[in-house]
Amino acid sequence: MLGALRHRNYRLFLTGQIISTIGTWMQSVAMPWLALQLTHSGLLVGLVLAVQFTPVLLGSQFGGIVADRFRKRSILLVTQAAFTIPSFSLFLLSSSGHAMYWEVLIAAAATGTINAFDVPARQSFVVEMVGKQDLMNAIALNSSVFNGAAVVGPSVAGVIIGAVGVPVCFLANSVSYLAAVGALLLMRNLPAIVREQHDQRWRQRLAEGASYVVREPVVGLLLIDVAVFSLFAMNRLTLIPLFADQVLHAGASGFGFLMASMGLGALVGALTLAFFPGLGANPARQFWLGLLWVAALLVFSFSRVFLLSSAALFVAGYSQISFVATANSRIQTLTPDGLRGRVMGLYAQALIGVGPLGAMQAGALATLLGAPWAMAIGATVAGAVVVATRLLRPTVFQRPALPEPDL
């Protein structure tokens, strides 16, 4: 239990992430809310999120190449420092009272461009700090931090937005990255991972990562399932503001509470994996959690009672983080060290990069049919794909067969 905390470098990393991720979640609430205030359009809110995620979709494979070629800590020092620029710019613009929608789009695009290099390096850096033995525990702790921040960040942001407006959320996020930079600077004695050959063409490096995913069907299908869920079932920042404003009539504080409910469920799911990492090695459990995730979203889609909606999001958050963290651990465990950056670049595309398409389809469906039908349709599609994966390739969600004992 909690074996990853034995490693000093990981403890530093986790401390920095606790602070910076709270700030990130505060901005994740403030940015779509600011866009909604400026436009009063679900489609345009979705466009902001689409612009933020598009660079990850198009560029994270290049970020993976960089992660496999250079020291990951050096990459992260650059990206974490660069994140302060768009968030501080949003603070200045929104505090002036003259923020424009197109300025929000530019800040979102800048954040996404940095993410295209940050996510593959950060994901593949974990194993360098803790080794494969403690990888599942470290991923679960990372998820615990991310989702603990998803409880604290949106709750604090909702109160701040209601009291003084969105600018303070952007300022808090900008300052929070200093903790992550400081933690990286304090690290010592990181292992020397063999880097790939510099004379290899970039097209060959890209092809190597894609070829491995095709050859290893469990990795490939897990990436497809994560991408489908991200595309159709993770559009909370597009749809939940609309539920809070137009369906449940709960306002900014209600939006923050709904986000916190989902974050609390995800925190419980992540802590469960942190204290019982063996659960993350159970593919069958991953399958049933995928179905539970879909069921919870369907309940939320048609609920008109705030407490029931909050409870459904709690279950959805628990199932989501359990499914995704298990997929992350299984993919990293199966992937060789020399390919991990590129494969985690594909993972970033699956988990984050398809967000633009997801945000746009959710925003468009919400405009045409309303937010409840948009979420219900997305959940149904995601559930159908995970069931199809189970039927077409049962080994993806089954434990590997134990070898027969020698007689």
Residue type, 220: G
Gap between the Cα atoms of 94 and 117, Å rounded: 27
To which residue do tokens 């034995």 refer? 6
Residue linked to tokens 């909604």: 36
Per the CB < 8 A criterion, the answer to whether 123 and 17 are in contact is no
pLDDT-based confidence at residue 405 (cuts at 50, 70, 90): very low
8 Å CB contact between 293 and 229: yes
Closest CA to 156 of 21, 321, 13: 21
Q: Report the alpha-carbon distance of residue 246 to residue 248 in Å, rounded.
A: 6
Percent residues over pLDDT 90 in the chain:
31
Q: What is the pLDDT of residue 108?
A: 93
Residues 6+ apart with CB under 8 A from 26: 153, 154, 156, 157, 160, 169, 172, 173
State how far the Cα of 6 lies from the Cα of 238, in Å rounded to an integer: 39
> Which residues neighbour 31 within 8 Å (Cβ) at sequence distance 6 or greater?
48, 52, 90, 104, 107, 108
CA dihedral defined by 268, 222, 131, 201, rounded to 10 degrees? -140
Q: What is the pLDDT of residue 403?
A: 41
Name the residue with tokens 């359009």.
Answer: 41
pLDDT over 70 percentage in the chain:
92
For CA atoms 367, 369, 371, 374, the dihedral sign is negative
**Per CATH, domain 3-184+204-395 is 1.20.1250.20:** yes
Average pLDDT over residues 311-331: 88
- Mean pLDDT across the stretch 204-229? 83
Above 80 in pLDDT, residue 167? Answer: yes
Say what the alpha-carbon torsion angle 139, 240, 36, 305 is, to the nearest 10 degrees. Answer: -150
Task: Round to whole Å and give the CA distance between 270 and 323.
Answer: 10
How far, CA to CA in Å, does 85 sit from each of 79, 215, 335?
Answer: 10, 40, 34
- Nearest-angstrom CA–CA distance, 46 and 32: 8
Side chain identity at 13, as an amino acid letter?
F
Match 């659960």 to its residue by tokens.
279
User: In the predicted model, what is the mean pLDDT of residues 290-318?
Assistant: 93
Give pLDDT tens digits for 1-42: 567 888 899 999 999 999 999 999 889 888 988 888 888 887
The residue with greater pLDDT, 224 or 402, is 224
**Structure confidence at residue 150 as a pLDDT band (50, 70, 90):** low
Q: Work out the pLDDT band at 128, boundaries 50, 70, 90.
A: confident
Prediction pTM value? 0.76
Average pLDDT, the chain: 84
Would you say residue 48 has pLDDT above 90?
Answer: no
Query: Is residue 28 helix, strand or coil?
Result: helix
What per-residue confidence (pLDDT) applies to 382? 92
Q: Residue 11 has what pLDDT?
A: 93
Say if residues 22 and 169 touch (Cβ distance below 8 Å): no
pLDDT at 152: 76
Residue located via tokens 């503001």: 241
Mean pLDDT of 37-62: 82
d(CA 256, CA 306): 13
- pLDDT per position as a tens digit, 183-214: 999 998 877 655 555 556 767 777 777 788 88
Please choose, from the candidates 335, 365, 331, the residue with its C-alpha nearest in 3D space to the C-alpha of residue 42.
365
Taking residues 72-99, report their average pLDDT: 93
Q: Which amino acid is at 85?
A: I
